[in-house]
Structure 1
Amino acid sequence: MKNNNRLSILITALCIPALTGSNAFAQDNGQSAPYVEGARVPKGYARPPFHVKPHASTAAVVGLTPATVRHAYGFDTITNQGDGMVIAIVDAYDDPKIESDLGVFSTQFSLPACTTANGCFKKIYASGSKPRADSGWALEMALDVEWAHTIAPKAKIVLVEAASNNFNDLMTAVDVAVKNGASVVSMSFGGSEFSSEGSFDSHFSTSPGVTFVASSGDSGYGAEYPAASQSVVSVGGTTLSIDAYGNYIGESAWSGSGGGVSAYEAEPAGQAAWPVPYAGNRGIPDVSYDGNPNTGFAVYDSVTYKRQSGWFQVGGTSAGSPQWAGLFAIANSLRTAAGKAKLGGTYNALYTAGKSAYGSDYHDVTTGSNGTCGTVCNAAGGYDYVTGLGSQQAPNLVQALVAQP
């Protein structure tokens, strides 16, 4: 194992800008300044790693549509749509219009209605009290909820709103999500690693039958938490290429994809079976998904963000976490139908499932980079620290996960 102190110093020197001025969140009361896309936050706090592609008007749909994305990654060939599963979305602060916005999105793209009234949607305040509204986090929630529903339209969605972006409040929300029956928890948030982050790992490691998914970050090379946890599936970002019919052509690493080597977390067993430059240390991410805002996703959000509301085109690794959560919901639904337990320790299962049939379970992303640090910053064949194992070939990977013991 590499020396963690030396690795921590290297990561800090190369990757983490000063956390001061308008790019930082206030630390005295957990309240945030206006969200700055791509900016890091003080240790112990998290921010949503999304990016918006600017448009002159948000009155018309912009960005990739559900039908296009489902076809590109192969979800449209899977009959199961997450039946009987609960996907929990954990974010900070409040989106007061999330249910109505989900309704607009679902109607626009002919997705099943997902409402409180029909039992599909539920919003919970983790602290018991309604948090203040936050426009940046509201756009994150719209992205998360709408695109989890896109991938697994028949799964129930529980949105758990943390009181603030402080990790203590966010982990409280994670616990509430598990208590409300989630088989998969999506966490599109993260912050720079910190020496005591391991104290939060028990929130993920002590919940059998629950898969935790987190975005790897959107500032390029650098490890973030909770993506760095050994018990969390970390999702990096790519640039997706498709033809005029939505057929998959290929992917390259997105320059903003968070990734690298953890300074504090040890390498989990599944990753240890793959050759990596820093054996013994946790590599991030595990997998990837389209994250470039120029190839971003259509999101409807009526909460005003940067003086706009309506349709946005949104990217960032935020987009991958809820969509991978949808994939796990589908796999769990099929496992339940087969009399098997829901996936637990999913992190290792991803590496095991892909080992024997790598070329058919994953799209191997071999070009692009997220920095100038050499090998660790470059996408390559097999596993790499920018795109992980790659993006899913959904029909094959789902069956491989269903086949796991």
Structure 2
Amino acid sequence: MRRFGFLAVLIVLAALVPSVASAAPRDVCGPAAPGFARCYAKVDSRHALRATGYGPADLRSAYRLPDIGGAGETIAIVDAGDAPTAEADLAVYRQTYGLPPCTTANGCFRKVNQQGDPGPLPPVQGSWPVETALDLDMASAACSQCKLLLVEGDDASFEALGVSVDTAVRLGATIVSNSYGATESRQSADFAAHYRHPGVAIVASSGDSGFTAPSFPAVYSSVIAVGGTSLSKADNTRGWTESVWKGASSGCSAWVAKPAWQKDPNCPGRTVADVSAVADPATGPAVYETTIATGWIVVGGTSASAPFVAGVIALAGHHDQYPDASRLYAQAGQLNDVVSGDNIQYEECGGDYLCTGLPGYDGPTGNGTPNGLAAF
């Protein structure tokens, strides 16, 4: 029995997926109260009613990734509330794109609550099931042989999500993906320990508000902060082109000290991001979800790039070498350098690298995007 009646589904979809005539992407999750996180997924209204998003083969082509690898890795997805159709929706996605099954029965997929138990599962939290579907699909797109562990927080509070990260690590996750956040503040430090697990790579979305104050948990020095790009096919040697996605958040921390491995000159604190991948909803991936949506939609935001990068780390097999993002700075020359576009929305930065795609490191895309596995 579906959780929502037909009328309720139409009401939710009206808010989530506006008319195709509207070009602006819509946030999947609304504003969050203090102490709570907002998911960073965005539905592209131009394509949401058509399955035109990128599939795994497109993404493997764009980022020169192998078809196989990562069989010994477990990617944990941490989200708020239950996604009742997560496993069934994932099955449709993977079957559609010819990926191997990932199910509870074959030991590839596991869903637990924040205590690590299979039940009772928390109630649905707004439209977070769309975020969950995006995360599972993007992790699958990058690493089809990885195991997937979905840990569902009791709600979207940072306390619940932080406990969920700890649980994921305790249950054997080698990479933990977090596609949510809130603007950093004095209180951000209260949750930092949840995102510090040496030996396990912790990945987080930079956010979708352009150049602004950084988002936590991405701003923590123990976290790999993932920014976002616009990705399009092109008639060039690579076959693809990328620029800064306008929504990809970047910024200079007022609360987190500059890590020794970050050398950019114009930010005395931690700079976000470290690395990036496709995030623009207008050039985003196809996602299958049926708790909130009615099947195929196109979803983006740095909610897409974070689980994808988690999958790339899993493919490379060096998750134990990510106590922080320093590896991606040492290997920056092995990444695709993104040298165009900016993320200026509310604040100007005079064309500075903090908000503009320039040669070398820049805030919106970090050191660049995956170019095979050499940097990872």
Would you say same fold, with TM above 0.5? yes
Which of 345, 348, 372 is the equivalent residue of 1:373? Answer: 348
Which amino acid in 1 is paired with 2:162?
M
Which of 290, 299, 304 is the equivalent residue of 1:314? Answer: 299
Q: Kindly tell me: are residues 38 and 259 of structure 1, through their superposed partners in 2, closer, same or farther at Cα, counting changes over 3 Å? A: farther
Q: Kindly tell me: are residues 245 and 390 of structure 1, through their superposed partners in 2, closer, same or farther at Cα, counting changes over 3 Å? A: closer
Q: Kindly tell me: are residues 100 and 247 of structure 1, through their superposed partners in 2, closer, same or farther at Cα, counting changes over 3 Å? A: farther
Q: CA deviation at 1:373?
A: 1.7
Q: CA deviation at 1:349?
A: 1.2
Distance 1:50 1:216 in 2: 12
Is 1:141 the counterpart of 2:132? The answer is yes
Q: Kindly tell me: are residues 64 and 80 of structure 1, through their superposed partners in 2, closer, same or farther at Cα, counting changes over 3 Å? A: closer
Q: CA deviation at 1:37?
A: 4.5
Write 1 or 2 for the structure with the bigger share of helix: 1
User: Secondary structure, in 3 states, of the residue corresponding to 1:387?
Assistant: coil
> Structure 2 unaligned runs (5+)?
1-25
Which residue of structure 1 aligns with residue 264 of structure 2? 275
The 8 Å contact of residues 29 and 128 in structure 2, kept in 1 or not, is answered as: no
Is 1:326 the counterpart of 2:311? The answer is yes
User: Secondary structure, in 3 states, of the residue corresponding to 2:316?
Assistant: helix
Which of 80, 89, 107 is the equivalent residue of 1:101? Answer: 89
Which residue of structure 1 aligns with residue 207 of structure 2? 217
> How much is the aligned-residue C-alpha RMSD, in angstroms?
2.2
User: Secondary structure, in 3 states, of the residue corresponding to 1:68?
Assistant: helix
Q: Kindly tell me: are residues 218 and 38 of structure 1, through their superposed partners in 2, closer, same or farther at Cα, counting changes over 3 Å? A: farther
Q: TM-score, normalised by structure 1?
A: 0.80
Distance 1:181 1:303 in 2: 28
1:251-295, CA deviations, whole angstroms, 9 ceiling, x for partnerless residues?
Answer: 111110011111100111221xx33311x3000011111111110
Which of 378, 382, 401 is the equivalent residue of 2:360? Answer: 382
Q: Kindly tell me: are residues 241 and 113 of structure 1, through their superposed partners in 2, closer, same or farther at Cα, counting changes over 3 Å? A: same
The 8 Å contact of residues 187 and 321 in structure 1, kept in 2 or not, is answered as: yes
Distance 1:152 1:94 in 2: 23
User: Secondary structure, in 3 states, of the residue corresponding to 2:100?
Assistant: coil
Which of 164, 168, 189 is the equivalent residue of 2:159? Answer: 168
User: Secondary structure, in 3 states, of the residue corresponding to 1:395?
Assistant: coil
Distance 1:126 1:225 in 2: 20
Q: CA deviation at 1:55?
A: 5.1
Distance 1:70 1:158 in 2: 22
Q: CA deviation at 1:366?
A: 1.6
Distance 2:143 2:272 in 1: 25
Q: Kindly tell me: are residues 245 and 81 of structure 1, through their superposed partners in 2, closer, same or farther at Cα, counting changes over 3 Å? A: farther
Q: TM-score, normalised by structure 2?
A: 0.86
Q: CA deviation at 1:36?
A: 4.4
Between 244-253 and 376-385, report the one with greater CA deviation: 244-253
Q: CA deviation at 1:301?
A: 0.3
Which residue of structure 2 aligns with residue 7 of structure 1? none
Which amino acid in 2 is paired with 1:74?
R
Q: Report percent identity of matched pairs.
A: 38
Distance 1:182 1:153 in 2: 16
Q: CA deviation at 1:246?
A: 11
Q: Kindly tell me: are residues 246 and 298 of structure 1, through their superposed partners in 2, closer, same or farther at Cα, counting changes over 3 Å? A: farther
Which residue of structure 2 aligns with residue 17 of structure 1? none
Which of 327, 335, 358 is the equivalent residue of 1:349? Answer: 327
Alignment of 1:4-403 (within 5 A): 36-37=27-28, 40-54=31-45, 58=49, 61-75=51-65, 78=66, 80-127=68-115, 129-205=120-196, 207-222=197-212, 223-243=214-234, 247-271=238-262, 274-278=263-267, 280-305=268-293, 309-332=294-317, 335=318, 342-354=320-332, 358=333, 361-371=334-344, 372-374=347-349, 375=352, 376-398=354-376
The 8 Å contact of residues 276 and 383 in structure 1, kept in 2 or not, is answered as: no
Q: Kindly tell me: are residues 36 and 204 of structure 1, through their superposed partners in 2, closer, same or farther at Cα, counting changes over 3 Å? A: closer
Distance 1:83 1:145 in 2: 16
The 8 Å contact of residues 48 and 298 in structure 2, kept in 1 or not, is answered as: no
Which amino acid in 2 is paired with 1:182?
A
Q: CA deviation at 1:353?
A: 2.2
The 8 Å contact of residues 39 and 219 in structure 1, kept in 2 or not, is answered as: no
Q: CA deviation at 1:245?
A: 11
The 8 Å contact of residues 38 and 156 in structure 2, kept in 1 or not, is answered as: yes
The 8 Å contact of residues 28 and 130 in structure 2, kept in 1 or not, is answered as: no
Distance 1:57 1:239 in 2: 17
Which amino acid in 2 is paired with 1:386?
P
Which amino acid in 2 is paired with 1:367?
S
Q: Kindly tell me: are residues 381 and 246 of structure 1, through their superposed partners in 2, closer, same or farther at Cα, counting changes over 3 Å? A: closer
Q: CA deviation at 1:38?
A: 7.7
> Structure 1 unaligned runs (5+)?
1-34, 336-340, 399-405
User: Secondary structure, in 3 states, of the residue corresponding to 1:303?
Assistant: coil
The 8 Å contact of residues 236 and 258 in structure 1, kept in 2 or not, is answered as: yes
The 8 Å contact of residues 43 and 194 in structure 1, kept in 2 or not, is answered as: no
